Amino acid sequence: MDRITPVEIEEWIKRMGFRYFVDPELKDYNGLVIDIKPRIIVYFSNEMRYSHIMTLLKPLAKIDVPSRERFFKQLLETNAEWNLMKFVIMFRTIGIKIDFDLDSLSFDEFKDGFKALAVAHDEYKRLIEGQESDNMANAMYG
């Protein structure tokens, strides 16, 4: 199986019917911003071996200082419960990220990743922020 290229990923995004744009801030990562809610970015590792999709949830600056330890602990505990998905801090922002190995990635696996991120976003709202879920997963993917 040949390694999937960023050009093919772009074709897949079009095939999924998503609109996207190039963010100059993600230029170094060959990054794209998918114009959906929750906002998802797609970018690549330096050696183009991995592709990443990530939601941007909350800037670090917006987390109350006194509750930071408890908040970060909850994210690490949730990481232990999740499979193939993780809370991360990237670009000074809390997000949920999935890594794909471009040597074995299929279109279906890539597409499923977007739905998984939407479900995880709803879980984050409900369990960690204690807010009513936006039901993004249902709204976007049925």
Partner 1 sequence: MVGDEPAVVNRKVVEQWIEKIGLPHSTPPDNPEVILIDLKPKMIIIPGEKFMRVSLILGNVNQISTERREMLYQRLLELSGQMNLMKASLHGDTLAFDTDFDMACIDYREFKDGIINTLGGFEKFKKQIAHFVQDGMI
83 interacts with partner 1 by CB under 8 A:
yes
Cβ closer to partner 1: 90 or 140? 90
125 interacts with partner 1 by CB under 8 A:
no
The pair of structure tokens assigned to 49 is 């071996």
From the list 25-33, 87-95, 115-123, 129-137, the region that binds partner 1 by CB under 8 A is: 87-95
94 interacts with partner 1 by CB under 8 A:
yes
The pair of structure tokens assigned to 1 is 């199986």
The tokens 């995880």 sit on which residue? 120
Q: State which H helix or E strand residue 74 sits in.
A: helix 68-81
The pair of structure tokens assigned to 45 is 């590792």
* Phi, psi values for residue 118, rounded to 5°: -65, -40
77 interacts with partner 1 by CB under 8 A:
yes
Whole-number Å distance between alpha carbons of 99 and 50: 7
37 interacts with partner 1 by CB under 8 A:
no
127 interacts with partner 1 by CB under 8 A:
no
89 interacts with partner 1 by CB under 8 A:
yes
123 interacts with partner 1 by CB under 8 A:
no
Q: Which residues bind partner 1 (CB under 8 A)?
A: 45, 49-50, 68-69, 72-73, 75-77, 79-80, 83-84, 86-90, 94-95, 97, 99, 101, 104
